[in-house]
């Protein structure tokens, strides 16, 4: 609930939670209830569980996801990304950005209302604690406007203490995503004096989370988040968003022909405080709270549900029975293809990275029996979590390879560097610069090929 005196058309000029002097208007959102809220709550449990559990999941002894920026060690879904994988990472990032754009054009801000950590923590954790301690919107408004009684003091103390605790937990869990749970366990076992700067950073980040969820709140979505700010260019009349069916609802009022009885319940329940009947707005995070609330009102007034529903502007204007049209079907196919490409690229990354270059400054050597030889430098990076015994073979021609030094083998995530000589019969060579291809084998299985050249007379 928000002071609506001057909001009838002010939504066109400024965010709904800002008054004409630029001051903040506090939103007292009514506790949502209904089918969509239940679905969202269940979904958020999975997201929260994922957030909390991921740092402890291990794949072959390594983290499932690790974003260790300081050591440039990135692990995504168990796959390690090295500095040499920048190209794959860039490709994945580009396909991810394309995915987000197409997804938003088609399905609007589904991400914001359902999966964004900001919404999940605010609506499903902090707001629920607030409902529990201070009660629903009218009670909270009365409490805030009222004098500092014993009840107000203990309620505020309890709520903010829980908020601070959760903020600390959030920071520590985020920390594990970046440094791994083992390092985190070592860090917290050590005395604070040994990691004092890290401890101060942890307190600052926790303080930031506490400030966001206890005070700044929905302003992250309306004023800070770049994704939110981009909605104006990403959405169009065919995007599926939370929409008010103005054809059915208007003219609004208790005794009018339209189905909207103008009860204002959809505004009371909105965590941003907007009126969805004004049309699609930048602030709407598609949380579906107004759908649930309006459906309850429709039920009470014996009208069909869906006055507020997921639909596109075109769908409502033209009275479509389904939200599906040829464009969102085609985009959905593209999204599935993009997602498949994303997964395929992740899974099909070569397990090793090989570089074979002729030793600089040397041409070729002529040996007895008409045999020509070239000297090569070889570098192999093991991207797996396993020890790899390796073998190199020439697969394009007949030839012999003699490695310098010991056996070819690499420990997990290590690098192998050596030199070898390749001998090829002069008769086999096609020119003074022949393309040759090597195969890298592990336990007789070809795991990578590498093309380079062989110089001869």
**Burial (Cβ within 10 Å: 0-12, 13-18, ≥19) of residue 291:** buried
Q: Is 105 in the site for ligand SF4 (CB under 6 A)?
A: no
Pairing outcome for strands 371-382 and 352-358: antiparallel
Does residue 164 contact residue 64 with C-beta atoms inside 8 Å? no
If binding means CB under 6 A, how many residues of this protein chain bind ligand SF4?
28
Which range of residues in 190-198, 268-276, 316-324, 408-416 is near ligand SF4 by CB under 6 A? 268-276
Alpha carbon distance 428, 373 (integer Å): 12
Candidates 96-104, 169-177, 182-190, 241-249: pick the segment binding ligand SF4 (CB under 6 A): 241-249
SS3 call for 150: helix
Residues in the chain: 457
Cα 266 from Cα 289, distance rounded (Å)? 8
**Cα separation, 440 vs 203, whole angstroms:** 50
Residue 133 makes contact with ligand SF4 by CB under 6 A: no
Rule CB under 6 A: say whether 288 interacts with ligand SF4: yes
Taking CB under 6 A as the criterion, the residue among 2, 80, 122, 266 binding ligand SF4 is 266
Q: Which among 174-182, 204-212, 284-292, 417-425 is the span making contact with ligand SF4, rule CB under 6 A?
A: 284-292
Which range touches ligand SF4 (CB under 6 A), out of 177-185, 206-214, 222-230, 262-270?
262-270
1 touches ligand SF4 (CB under 6 A): no
Applying CB under 6 A, does 240 fall inside the site for ligand SF4?
Answer: no
47 binds ligand SF4 (CB under 6 A): no
Instruction: Tell me which residues in 294-333 interact with ligand SF4 (CB under 6 A).
Output: 294, 297, 307-308
Q: Bridge-partner residues for 450, per DSSP?
A: 438
Contact between 290 and ligand SF4 by CB under 6 A: the answer reads yes
Cβ closest to ligand SF4, residue 202 vs residue 242: 242
SS3 215: helix
Per-residue H/E/C for 23-72 = CECCCCCCCCCCHHHHHHHHHHHHHHHHHHHHHHCEECCEECCEEECCCC
Residues that bind ligand SF4 (CB under 6 A): 242, 244, 249, 260-266, 269-270, 272, 274, 276-277, 284-290, 293-294, 297, 307-308
């Amino acid at each position: 609930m928000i002071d609506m005196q001057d909001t009838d058309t002010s939504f066109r000029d400024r965010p709904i939670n800002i008054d004409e002097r630029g001051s903040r208007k506090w939103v007292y959102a009514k506790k949502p209830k209904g089918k969509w809220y239940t679905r969202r709550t269940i979904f958020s449990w999975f997201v929260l569980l994922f957030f909390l559990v991921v740092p402890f999941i291990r794949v072959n002894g390594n983290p499932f996801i690790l974003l260790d920026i300081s050591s440039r060690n990135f692990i995504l879904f168990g796959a390690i990304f090295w500095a040499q994988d920048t190209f794959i990472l860039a490709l994945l990032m580009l396909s991810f950005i394309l995915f987000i754009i197409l997804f938003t054009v088609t399905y609007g801000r589904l991400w914001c209302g359902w999966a964004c950590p900001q919404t999940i923590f605010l609506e499903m954790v902090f707001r629920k604690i607030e409902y529990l301690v201070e009660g629903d919107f009218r009670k909270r408004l009365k409490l805030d406007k009222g004098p500092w009684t014993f009840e107000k003091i203990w309620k505020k103390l309890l709520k903010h203490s829980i908020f601070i605790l959760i903020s600390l937990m959030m920071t520590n869990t985020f920390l594990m995503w970046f440094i791994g749970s083992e390092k985190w366990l070592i860090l917290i076992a050590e005395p604070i004096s040994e990691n004092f700067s890290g401890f101060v950073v942890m307190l600052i980040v926790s303080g930031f989370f506490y400030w966001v969820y206890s005070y700044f709140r929905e302003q992250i979505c309306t004023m800070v988040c770049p994704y939110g700010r981009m909605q104006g260019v990403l959405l169009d009349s065919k995007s599926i968003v939370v929409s008010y069916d103005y054809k059915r609802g208007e003219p609004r009022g208790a005794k009018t022909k339209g189905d909207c009885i103008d009860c204002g319940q959809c505004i009371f329940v909105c965590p941003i405080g907007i009126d969805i009947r004004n049309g699609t707005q930048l602030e709407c995070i598609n949380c579906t709270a107004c759908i649930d609330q309006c459906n309850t009102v429709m039920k009470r007034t014996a009208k069909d549900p869906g006055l507020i529903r997921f639909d596109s502007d075109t769908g409502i204007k033209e009275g479509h029975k389904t939200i599906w049209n040829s464009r969102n079907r085609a985009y959905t196919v593209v999204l599935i293809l993009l997602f498949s490409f994303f997964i395929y690229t992740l899974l099909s990354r070569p397990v090793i990275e090989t570089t074979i270059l002729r030793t600089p400054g040397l041409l070729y050597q002529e040996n007895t029996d008409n045999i020509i030889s070239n000297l090569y430098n070889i570098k192999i990076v093991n991207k797996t979590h396993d020890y790899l015994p390796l073998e190199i073979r020439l697969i394009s021609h007949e030839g012999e390879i003699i490695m310098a030094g010991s056996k070819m083998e690499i420990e997990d995530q290590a690098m192998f560097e050596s030199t070898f000589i390749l001998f090829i019969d002069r008769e086999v060579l096609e020119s003074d610069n022949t393309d040759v291809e090597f195969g890298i084998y592990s336990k007789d299985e070809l795991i990578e090929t590498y093309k380079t050249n062989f110089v001869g007379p």
